[in-house]
A and B are shown apart, each in its own frame.
Chain A
Amino acid sequence: MTTKAHVDRAMLLHLYREMRRIRVFEERCVELYQAEKIRGFLHLYDGQEAVAVGIMQALAARDAVVATYREHGQAIARGIGTDVLMAEMFGRLEGCCRGRGGSMHIFDRATRFYGGNAIVGGGLPLAIGIALADRELERDAVTACFFGEGAVDEGEFHESVNLAVLWQLPVLFVCENNLYSMGTPLEMAEAETDIHRKAACYRLPSESVDGMSPLAVLSAATRAVEHIRATGGPYFLECRTYRFRAHSMFDAQGYRTREEVALWRRRDPIPRLANWLLDNALGKAGELEAIETAIVAEMDAAVAFAERGSLEPIDALERFVTLDEVPA
């Protein structure tokens, strides 16, 4: 197989725009958190954007996505509107989950986005089942399952990876290794820190990829998805990345140095791609500025949408605890 991701100027600009949309959305979230418009836990994706954007670009509309509690990036890159996302952060009726899920539990039927799972490792068994259903119902779909390297500590990771290989299910496992499971460095949690080797020992085709490069991720994801569609079996990508900000909004970051964060910030995928576009004369004058202006307008509109959103009536509190029918 020699197929590569088709990367042209339009694609590069698209990757840039998508990463930037995620970054700006989350910058707004921080401001709104400080203004107490958004509450609860807020886990920012800042630094890891290349992973979600690169992977999503390799998926088709019929594919499925399972993500974690740090899933704003996946949700935006998958195509969920920033307006309904922001309304969800505000706990509004107009939010994608009518305010019941919040930041950690984004679901969207239209894009086959199956959460937003805030139990580390909890999404992996679900991804197995979704992939099994897709295969049995002959949907020719891939389930992309995102999780952090902390999930590798969990039994559910090992059980699920084994099942995916045993049953040859179309799952793309995407491990976003940002080196810290909350405040615990990888080497304090794992005897084998080379994560893709764990997948390999389950006979799962696996590779490690530079998670700070959207092109590297896109290229690997394209290869992986192609392998999955051709064989029906799973594939494992370890994306080596870094989160620039705290684990959530309540984190003094005593577990890592400022110097380490600064070093990784130099690899920030967004300015790197911007500079590369400009250096190679691929970004026309004013083009990136125009993208920025459009993103600012989009996020202004999203915040305004959330601000004028309504509250679910208390009478509807218990609605959806059980359903009267399976949604069509």
Chain B
Amino acid sequence: MASENRILRIKELHQSKSKSLFLRFSLGFVILSLAWAWSAGTLHESVVSKEQRGANLEKFIGKIIPDPTRESGQWIDSLPWMTNLLTEGQGIKAAGITFGIATVAITLSGFFALLLLPLSARNFGTQRPLEIIQGKHILRSMYWFVINKSSRILFLFTRSLPEYVLGFLLISILGPDPWVLVLALAIHNFGILGRLGSELVENNSNESARIMFAQGGGRYSSFVSTILPDSFNRMLVYFFYRWETCIRESTVLGMLGIVSLGYLINDAKAGRDFDRMLTFILLGALIVIIGDIISSLVRHKLRITRSE
């Protein structure tokens, strides 16, 4: 009898487990699309013959070792060559530019995203923010609906365009200028910070903001005097988290043809100096690691950690 009860209880538990039709449908869809991805047609491959490819690979691997070492067989001989690359070959300068571009870009996007937050957060950008202001007016609520939705769509649109695509389009408008890299990073991260910030505003406790509204404050004054100070640390955490990814992206954006690390890499590739190319790629990795360390120290100091 007791064991029967136990079996019943297990069945009950099993049935009370939450099930979602949506998740099951999604799982099926994922499996189908994976099957399609693996089976649909052959992928585009290079027209080069197999022998030629083998020869290319051999040449690449041969040239990837720094010139002086290849001649003498001693790694120590490459040290002056490397220092020369970093100073004369503009390695250090490009690394500095990479850092600078990321910093300016994230500051710009943080500033503009902050300006839009009181309009884009769902609980602020309505005719009755936080349900406080009473009364209904159909035109005014339509107005706020449009304002709220368009700022959210602006965030969505800007964050769906990859930095590299933005940079490519901007270069045909602005020509080769550091602004291209800064704006490409800033536009993409504006969308991301906007979304993350809106979520912060929506989830933040809003008692004091309610008081502000009840006393006749507007959206901006309530936001600046209550929500912003309260969620300041969390916003900084996002800021530094995006700064870190900006550094990562700005190492490659130079490939569009503007002096930064990516440009040097592309240049070395075009000259088939694979040793130089690899050195700059490793320098890029070093920059990314330094950025990661700085950002995680700061975020740790802000007492909240957030993974990617």
A binds B: no
- By a beta-carbon cutoff of 8 Å, the part of chain A in contact with chain B is none
